[in-house]
Every structure is written in structure tokens, then in C-alpha cells.
Amino acid sequence: MTDTTDDIAEEISMQAFEDDCRLLGSLLQDVLHREVGPRFMETIERKRVLAQSAVNMRSIGMEEAANLLDKQLATDISKMTLEDAVSLARAFSHYLNFMGIAETHHRVRKARHDENLSRSCDDTFNKLIQTGVSPEELYDTFCKQEVEIVLTAHPTQINRRTLQYKHVRIAHLLEYNDRPDLSHEDKEMLIEDLVREVTALWQTDELRRYKPTPVDEARAGLHIVEQSLWKAVPHYLRRVSNVLKKHTGKPLPLTCTPIKFGSWMGGDRDGNPNVTAKVTRDVSLLSQWMAIDLYIREVDNLKFELSINRCSDTLAKLAQEILLQESESEDLHSEKWNSSINQTLLKHQNQHISALPAQLPAGAYLPACTECSDGGSEYPVVKVPGNINRQNDKKSPVQLSLSLPKTEDGGSLASPTSQSSVTGSQKLNRSSSSQHPAQRKLFVESQIGRSNFQKLLEPSLHQRPGFTPYRVFLGNVKDKLLKTQRRLELQLEDLPSEHDPREYYETTEQLLEPLTLCYESLHSCGSGILADGRLADLIRRVATFGMVLMKLDLRQEASRHSETLDAVTKYLDMGLYTEWDEEKKLEFFTRELKGKRPLIPLSIEVTSDVKEVLDTFRVAAELGSDSFGAYVISMASNASDVLAVELLQKDARLSVSGELGRPCPGGTLRVVPLFETVKDLRAAGSVIRKLLSIDWYREHIIKNHNGHQEVMVGYSDSGKDAGRFTAAWELYKAQEDVVAACKEYGIKVTLFHGRGGSIGRGGGPTYLAIQSQPPGSVMGTLRSTEQGEMVQAKFGLPQTAVRQLEIYTTAVLLATMNPPLPPREEKWRHVMEEISKASCNYYRSTVYENPDFLGYFQEATPQAELGFLNIGSRPTRRKASTGIGHLRAIPWLFAWTQTRFVLPAWLGVGSGLKDACDKGYQEDLKAMYKEWPFFQSTIDLIEMVVAKADIPIAKHYEEMLVSESRRALGSQLRSELQTTEKFVLIVSGHEKLSDNNRSLRRLIENRLPYLNPLNLLQVEILQRLRHDDDNHKLRDALLITINGIAAGMRNTG
């Protein structure tokens, strides 16, 4: 149950925060007064006052008085009409969202104004040097650091993207409101803007009416890059470079990328039949298209900025050659076109010589350093090729329906057309001599008027200065980017495209080459100050984002590969693969992987599921490691699971290479086993040892993956399998064992942490999590997922993104150079085993063995109704079963979070700690908390989630919704929660929960007057809905309460 506040556990100015809450709250009141009338406003205020009074009574120990007030509030709510109930839910939901916006804004404010911000690069570098680390060692270690943040489409982002954008606009207005130079008139205009945003929010439907497709989810991730990370990354790297130079005397190398980004959006097919091979291919191409589009914008800005004529001899010579080639090309072209057409198209040369670009680039008037804080509230969205917008709409014809940025000549890169795909192709290749004359004529006529308008924007001849080499040279870069973009459009439409490597940018290195040449030229001519601005930012973006923005991981369950190999071995009369023992499988794989021929015949006939697996490997072969990151195997349990993917990957690359008549692009994908269940975590080290003992595999890792083995550990399913405490301990031991296994064979290891947003799924403060890993598990490398609502919360604003990147950077650096302490003595491990055993037994006996638990869960929570939220493309269950085992971890956590019981994050912990204390380990536990970072962070996270749990609210759900025969179980569960609270406080030495984070405690308390009524309202609606389950208005009302509670808890699942 992580709170975004927790991730930076720093004091914020409560006074300033409350001022902003009051401002937004008063504006919401004004809007509601106008929208719903004064009578209803009195109703809302009565509910809020009752809730606030109950909170106040409970805070001073007057539990009976608080219960009476809660009952009165519940009675009032039960008498409300459905229309009033919806309005109440919406009003309180919006206010809780406003509180979240204000919290985020004040963390940004603190980061901006605090010169000695903890966990900043400056603070961390200084501490390391003070502990005796030499500047040279610090510099070398940091420059070799590799951190990758992987954004996933896990369905925990409950807000529509429209609402997210409006929230960001409000955050920008709050930031603008902080300016000390605002006049009275400016303030009034700002308030008017805020009123408009609040009004628009109220009049906007909060609910998603359709499930997103995997492509929709991918686009949401790409928009995070465009609107936030694109600005944050160069700002962050500038900051790092300056601080590194301050402490070591050397800046960060220009193409050094201590942090990168990956994605699962459109690649994670584990249990999601909607993610097909075609979807994965299209999402990857879309990501490349968007990267090129962003680079085109930046090159435009650079052309405007670099108006100087001093350059190196090398660059001057290249620019002259470009002009000469264009002149010759246009002379040749002019022989085929009549004179009126020539006047339209012959202006490219003049554009290169002109003083200014014909059209001022967007944002060109802003200095590059303001990109993270310009306070703008406009969010330009790249309009992407239209064919993939509705991937699953089989009625859509295959056509090139594009709405793209304009080229320099004023025309579109491609125009929407109702003609066939051939017509679209011709428009994209309009310089081709094979165009139909009628099509050529249509295109030319459409350009003539635009050309005349464009001339009015250009300087007259006598105003044009002489030769501007950077503009000529960058114009050529832009031309190649445009051609690259056009080629991607053709690939998206499955149309043939010419393959002349000289005409396109295919690799990051190819694009970096001309930009680096400009950089070196500027420095050589004494213009280094220009080189280190926008140009350096672009080079750093290219180095970080490459040609794809975020490399796409592929993920599939191990059993799907086994089914595929079953079909292959059966077809080849080799028996059934799944009936072989592990040794026979390994012998088979080793033999086949050493061979040079494909295993799978092209003529093989397979089921649709098997074909989908094979098609996915073909897409991976066609696009290669330049587009994709890792191939993750979920539910991996044996060495054969890894070799199965290696063989299928090798076979697909051989087949595709033969069809192309050339090697496949890039290299093979990293194959990453994901160990999730407790059983698989315990075997993880043995599996890695078995793999590395195979000569072929070890040589493959050294040759193709730079001697790096990547291993993923899953937090969600392990927690659902055995409880949070046992999962944490098994994950710790598994990482130790995997690190030891790789060390035995001289192989480096990168651990990939599949952490969710909530504590029940491994979430929690990033810094705390990294600093509590086993010693040696973070040696300069780390991969970690960021999921759902955490992506928006951490990276939705450039300023918060910069801070998060800095936290990742400094935490990994500290864990590498100053590793966390291991348990001081072996006895501590024994104590952990005792706690884990008792905790796991209690958890499993309750969740999996108590016959009443499943029914209690289904009645006491809105689990069954969560499917109506339309927040993700994948099903809530892996298989068609009503049991807990096949329920995904997210709805499991989400449902308990809604009732404020948050059961999965603490169940069993109290019993485990009590058992250890009863056995005489109390003093050991206190010492472990003080001296062992892992144990301390585990207890702190449990304490944090217990502080957010609310027994009276959870009990109200039970009393109103659960059958009387099952209520004894609820009493038992509440007793376990109280036991957990008692023993967590004993171990931590705190007097009350969250005693070490009073800012968080106060923030939680501030939400309760709005959050508690939403819970009581949700119970009332659930009661009504379960007697009238086809009532769509009731269903909408329930979903609005779910949204509001998620906003108040700052978390879903």
C-alpha cells in the first residue's frame, strides 16, 4: 500500500500544502454550488462534518462516540437518492484527487528550494567522498552504472488519461501561483484558469466506457515519455554532470547513460490473449516512429538556434557536398516536371541558405534549461499512424490513414485518404517516377497554394545571409529522419519499402554520428557554450532513448513454450516434449542449439495458440535486439525453460534470415527467467547453476550478452502465495543464492525486480527498497518495474521525474559502493526462518485452507465488480476458476485496499512476530531492526500499511455485506491485525504507528473526512447492486466510489 508521499519520506510544508488544499477545495465548492445547487452543498457539508467529528473522537480515544457518529453518517447515506449519492461520490473523489495534486506539488517545491536535499546526487557524492571513496573511483563507478526502469501496463491506473492531463494542468497552475512577482491581475487570471479546469473536471465522465487495447496502453506509456521524461532526462543528466564535475573534476561523458527505460506495454502476453505478435510488432514500430518524430522536432529547434557560420573544416566540407548533391538532384528532377511544378519544389536549396527556418519551431523561443519548469499547461500529442489505433477492429480496411506533422515545404508527410493502401504508398513515395500521372497532378495542385503562402513567411532575398553550415548539415539529418519515419509508416501498413541503409537511420550510433560531429565542430571553433546547450541535450536524449524510446520486453508463461515444443516434437515423431525428464530436455536443447539448421519445418501445421508463440519469435527475429529488450519467462522453474526460449529464438532467426537473404537485425534477446512462487524462488540458485554449467549456454552469455546473466524475481505472486513476510525473506535468500551462483562461474548478474505499486506486491519507497537488498546483489546494475498509477505519480511531471531518476541513481550507487550490511550473526537467519514459518502457516491456513475464506472475500469486497472498471486489457484471472490461486495479484490487492483492510500486506506477520517473541527472541528482533537494513525496511513497510488499515471501516463492510455464518472469520482477521500492530510497535520501539513518519500520518488523517464517507457509500451501493445487478446507474455509482477510494488511499493494487 505504498503512498507516493512515502517514496520521498521528507517533511513538506504542511501550511503551504493546506493553503493549496483550501484554495482548490473552495474553488470546487464554488463550482458545485453552481452545478448542483446550495441544497446539495449543505448535504455534502453535513456528511463531511460528521466524518471529521468521528475522526476527531477516535484520535483522542473516544471510540464509542466515534462509532455513534459513523452510524449516523451511514444512516444518512442510506437515505440518499441514487443521483445524490453519485454527486457526493464525485465531489469527494475530486477533492481527494486535489489533495494528491497538492502533495505532489509541495514535494516538487521542496526539491526546488532545498539546497541540501537528502538523497540528491550532490548529497550522495559528498557523503561517499567523506567516507574515503576517491574521486576517481566515484567517477568510474558512476559512469559504468546501468539502471533501467521498465514501465508496465499492469491495470492499476484507475484515472482516465483525460483526467490525468487535467490534473497535470492544475499542478502547473499551482506552480505558477507560487511565483512572487504575480500582480493582482495575474492572480485573478490564474484563479479563473483554475475555475475552468475544475469546471471541466466536474463536467467530464470519470469512467472508462471501454476496455483499453494493448496499443492504447502502449500509447499511454509513450505519452509519459513525450510529456515528461523527454524533458526530465536531459535536465537530470545536466544536473548529474555538473555535480560530478564539482566532486571529481570531470563531467559526465556526453553519451553516458546511467539510466534507461524499457516497457512491457504491448509485449507482456502472460495470460493476456489480446497481446498478439502483430500487436507487439506494431507497438515496437510505433515507438520507433514516435522517437523519430521527437528527434525531428529537436533538430528543427537546433536549426533555428545554430545560425552561426563558424565551423570546422570537416563540417564545412560536408555541408558544401550536401548543397551540391541537392542542386544536382533538383536539376535532374526539374527535367521531369513542368516549370510551374519546379517553382513549388525548388525552394529546398533556398531554405538551407535562408536566415531563418520558414516556420518557427514550437518552443524555440524558450531556453533549453526551462524545459522542466516552464509551467506550460499545453500538452502536444503526437498524432500517430491511424491504422493501429483500433487494432482489434476487424472492420477497418487496411489503409494509410495518417495525421502527421508538416514538412518544411508545408505539406503533410502523408495525407488521410479513402483510397486503397497503394494510393497511400504512392503519396509517401511521391518523388518516385513510377507514380500515376493523375496522382502526381493531384499532389502538385494541392501544394501550389501552400507554396505561395510559404513564400510570404520566408525572408526576402536581400535579407538572406550567406552560407550557414549547421543548418545545411542538420537539414540533411532531418531529411534522413523524415525518410526513416516514412519507411516506418510503410512497415506499419505492411507495405513494401525500399531498403537502402544510406537513406535511413537504423541504429542509435548512426544518428549520434552527425550530432557528435556538430558538437565537436562547435567546440573546435570556440563555441562550446552553444554545444553544451540544446545540442548536448539532444545527444543525451539519443543516447538514452535510442531509436525506440523504450525497448520492449516480451513476456510469456513457460507452459506456452512447452506446448509449442510438444507440437514440434510430436510432428517430428520424437514423442511429447512434456513427457521427457529434465536431463533429456537439456540434452536435446544442447544438441539442437549447437546445430546450424532450423528445427521447425515451414510446413508444420499447429494450433492457433502454438502459431501465436511461433509468430512472436518471428517478430523478435525480424526486429531484433535493437527494438526489443529481454524475453521474460514467467513461472520459470527449470533450466530447460530458459533453453526452450533460446532454441525457439534461434530457430526463428535462422528462418527469417533465410527469407531476408541477410542476417537478422541486432542480436538475440536476453532470456530472463522469472521466479515467482516460493517454491521457484527457493530453486532459483540451483537453476542458474545448472544453466551456467552447460558450456554452450555459458559461452553464449559471454559472447552475446557481455558476460551478464539477468534474473527476474517476482514480488506479486510470491506474496499471494505465502504472505508478505515470507515472500520478502524468500526473495532475499533467492537473490543471495543467484548472486553466489553467478559468482561461481565468473558471470555478472543483473537482478530484475518485478515490484508492484502496493506493499503487498513488493512496492514501497524506491530508495529504501534498493538500500535493503542483499550485499552484492546491486553491483552497478539494476532493473525494476514501475506499474500503473505509480508511473503517473512518479514520472507524470518533469520535476517529479527528475527527482525519481536521482533517487534511483543515488540508491544504486550507494548499494554498489557501500553495500547494505548482512545479518550480523547466523542466529538472525534462524530467527527469520522461525518468523517466516509461523507467518506462512497462518497465512496459508487462512487463505487457502479455511473453507469460509473465499466466500468471505467475495462478499466483503467489491472484487467481482472490479472487472467493470475497464482499466486494463488483460483478464483478471489467468484461468477460468473462482479460486484465489488463479486470481491475479492486482485484483487480489485492489479489492482488499478498497475495504481499507489491506489484508494481503500484513496477514500472518503478527502471528510470526508473536511466535518469535514467545520463543524468547524479542531482544534479537529489536537488534535486528536497528542493525539490519533488510529487516528494518520490512518492518517499516508493514508498519506503514497497518497505519493505513482501518478496522471500523473494514468491520462495517462485514456487518453489512457478509453472511452471518462467516463473520467469525472476520473477527479472527481483525484480531490478527491488532496482533500485527502490537508486535510491530514492540520490534520498532515506536509509541504509535508511523511515529517515524509524522508527515505521512498527518497527510493520511487529512484525507479521512472525505475517504470514510466514500467507504460507507460504497457499502450502501454494493448492498443495492447485489439485489439489482443489472442496474447500470448503480454500477456507475459504485465505480465512482472505487475511483475515489483509490485516490484517497493513493493506491489501487
Q: Under a CB-based contact definition with an 8 Å cutoff, are residues 97 and 74 in contact?
A: no
Per-residue exposure over 811-826, b if at least 16 CB sit within 10 Å of its own CB, e if not: bbbbbbbebbeebeee
Query: At what angle are helices 998-1025 and 82-113 packed, to 10 degrees?
Result: 160
Give first-to-last CA distance, the chain, whole Å: 8
- 582 Cβ neighbours under 8 A, 6+ residues apart: 638, 639, 640
- CA gap 456, 95 in Å, rounded: 50
- 707 Cβ neighbours under 8 A, 6+ residues apart: 701, 746, 747, 748
Q: Pick the catalytic residue: 247, 352, 480, 720?
A: 720
- 874 Cβ neighbours under 8 A, 6+ residues apart: 155, 268, 271, 272, 274, 275, 888
Q: Under a CB-based contact definition with an 8 Å cutoff, are residues 949 and 902 in contact?
A: yes
Annotated active-site residue 926? The verdict is: no
Q: How many CB atoms lie within 10 A of CB 432?
A: 11
Strand 708-714 to strand 259-263: parallel, antiparallel, or no bridges (unpaired)? unpaired
Q: Which residue has the cell 510529456?
A: 227
Per-residue exposure over 878-912, b if at least 16 CB sit within 10 Å of its own CB, e if not: beeeeeeeebbbbbbbbbbbbbbbbbbbbbbbbbb
Q: Under a CB-based contact definition with an 8 Å cutoff, are residues 102 and 24 in contact?
A: yes
- CA gap 943, 940 in Å, rounded: 5
Question: Would you put residue 879 in left (φ > 0), alpha (ψ -120 to 50) or beta?
Answer: beta
Rg (alpha carbons) of the chain, rounded to whole number = 30
Helix (H, G, I), strand (E, B) or coil at 818: coil
Grid coordinates representing 705? 550478452
- CA gap 176, 802 in Å, rounded: 19
Annotated active-site residue 347? The verdict is: no
Helix (H, G, I), strand (E, B) or coil at 887: strand
Q: Which of 701, 709, 657 is nearest to 685 (CA)?
A: 709
- In total, the chain counts a number of residues equal to 1053
- CA gap 336, 433 in Å, rounded: 9
Q: How many CB atoms lie within 10 A of CB 794?
A: 25
Question: Would you put residue 578 in left (φ > 0), alpha (ψ -120 to 50) or beta?
Answer: alpha
- CA gap 634, 672 in Å, rounded: 9
Q: Pick the catalytic residue: 154, 223, 585, 650?
A: 154
Grid coordinates representing 247? 566532486
- CA gap 584, 580 in Å, rounded: 6
- CA gap 77, 79 in Å, rounded: 5
Query: At what angle are helices 922-931 and 933-948 packed, to 10 degrees?
Result: 100
Per-residue exposure over 521-554, b if at least 16 CB sit within 10 Å of its own CB, e if not: bbebbebeebbbbbbbbbbbbbbbbbbbbbbbbb
* Cα separations in angstroms, 1036 against 41, 63, 91, 871, 1024: 22, 34, 15, 14, 13
Check residue 873 and report its DSSP letter: S
**Could you list the active site residues?**
154, 720
